[in-house]
Amino acid sequence: MIYLDHAATTKISDVALETYMETARRFFGNTESLHDTGTDAACLLDMCRKKWAELLAVPKEGLIFTSGGTESNQLAIETALLHTTKKKIVVSPLEHASIWQKLAQLKKRGYTVCVFPVSRAGEIDFAALEELLTDETALLIVQHVNSETGAVQDAERVQRLAEKKKILLHMDLVQSFGKADFRPNGVTSFSISSHKIYGPKGTGLLYMDPSRIWQKEMPDVHHENGYRAGTIDLPAISAFTAAACAIMEKYPAEFARIDAFKKELVQKLAPQIKILSKENASPYILGMILPHALGEEALLYFSKNGLQISTSSACTLRDTMPSRALLAMGYTKEEIERVIRFSFGASNHMQQIEPIRQILTSFLAKGSERG
């Protein structure tokens, strides 16, 4: 089996799994308990937060452990809007489903949502974006790396623009942490997910700029600086932290390895396959349009032949509507039905390229016979 769906989830790494089990055995106390067992757990939680602060070059006071990228995104938006009376939100069309779910709820509460355009390659139209950022804008939301195409936004420019306009900025780093350069310099909040970086599922991170005084959504909450109610999952947080340290330590070499793998694979693809993004897209994601077959047909065929892929974001597979991101990039509904996505990670290596090519070529030949 060749796994090409790392953008959906990753297998927990040995170091993360070992860390989880060791923490569960030794640090089982409630971090809010005042006895020694609770104090030991609280000290480990603080060590994890400090390590994340070092990795991200941000104050640890701004770091909140959550249940994953979805909660981080939605909590960031809700917290930011409690900070202002303005009712206009500006967002890219490429965002994750968790963003659109929250925005749909906010529309019912009287908020206006404005979507700025992107290019055919999924890159921000900065002139159009700047026009939308008015004095009435409460929040700007931008995904750093798109999960369907791998399009990478200019995070530095986005942050400079938000600072210039004095607008709160949330960025989704779920597909970019440990896989793309990001330096927080003007961002108000950002989100990270554990299971995208070989950590356990059900854990994530939210950064909220601690230089601002944030109103909390619920009163009298003590966990995670008042942002989240409920006992924290320390084994998962500890394993998530171990996974983050590992991916950042390997980042330059692994980025180069995956980049070489993707470039070699693209050279082997049939010329009639259309690539969805530019060469400067994330090397970890490859979105393609097949010439004469539905993406779902390809997925089933590949699965039977030992190749595991996706047709879109795993979080939108139950949504019958065509991809909002790809529509915004100018693709037709018919083209979107023919999209497949390969996403790469630790388990992929050069020896897999020829089997991938053979399976894809075989599928396209069967499609030609049908067509």
CA 370/CA 368 separation, integer angstroms: 5
Helix, strand, coil percentages, rounded to 5, for the chain: 45, 15, 40
pLDDT digits (tens, 9 = 90+) for 207-255: 999 998 787 777 767 777 868 888 899 999 999 999 999 999 999 999 9
Can you say how many angstroms the Cα of residue 20 is from the centroid of all Cα atoms in its chain? 22
First and final CA of the chain: distance in angstroms? 29
Which residues are known to be catalytic?
315
Percent residues over pLDDT 70 in the chain: 96
Shared fold status for 2-7+251-370 and 14-245: no
Query: What is the predicted pLDDT for the residue at 125?
Result: 96
CATH 3.90.1750.10 fits 14-245, yes or no: no
Residue (of 179, 271, 270, 212) closest to 59 by Cα position: 212
What does the pLDDT average to over 110-120?
96
Query: What is the predicted pLDDT for the residue at 367?
Result: 63
Domain extents in the chain: 2-7+251-370, 14-245
Can you say how many angstroms the Cα of residue 353 is from the centroid of all Cα atoms in its chain? 26
pLDDT digits (tens, 9 = 90+) for 123-151: 999 999 999 999 999 999 999 999 999 99
User: What architecture is domain 2-7+251-370?
Assistant: Alpha-Beta Complex (3.90)
